[in-house]
Amino acid sequence: MASAPISNVFVYGSLLADDVVRALLGRLSSSSQPVSSHLCSGLVSRNMFTLQIIRVEDKKVDGRVLLGITPPELHILDEFEDERERVDVILKDGMEKLIAITYVWENKTDPNLYGSWDFEEWKILHMDGFLKMTKGFMNELELPDANTRVATYDSFYEGMDNKHSIS
């Protein structure tokens, strides 16, 4: 019997945080050294909570490749992320190219996308809230009528906004 295919997944933004990957997959996968994916540009979405990448010629976004992702784990990432596509990623030393799956935001004219994104700043300002939202998403995913990640995200941060406006 043939075993299910194992995937490599290029991640960026919040998925650079080990705690977020662990919350989604229940483990940390092996990962590559830092890599760049060409033909993508990173833009901030919704007040720096997340980073989306869109296809833009001659641009790149830095990340890492999660190695050995199983089909059930890939399903979780598919539910959590945007449109899946295959990309070439280049290790930082420029000597090796990998083919990986990544997730690309298809709406290039989304008015919520702007500016640049800083992982270290995100970790300080937003990671705790994002991790809570991610755990909520995973709890929802187990339900028969699970919300999408975007619906979970919007609901979580709408609740955060309401808490802040009451105080």
Catalytically active residues are: 81
82-107 burial, b at 16+ Cβ within 10 Å, e below that, comes to beeeebebebeeeeeebebbbbbbee
User: Which tokens go with 145?
Assistant: 């009528």
User: Which tokens go with 147?
Assistant: 């919300």
Indicate the SS3 state at residue 32.
Answer: coil
Chain centroid offset of residue 27 CA:
16
Pairing, β 7-11 against β 113-114: unpaired
Measured over the CA atoms of residue 25, residue 71, residue 78 and residue 96, the dihedral's sign is: positive
Classify residue 54 by burial, with Cβ atoms within 10 Å: 0-12, 13-18, 19+. Answer: buried
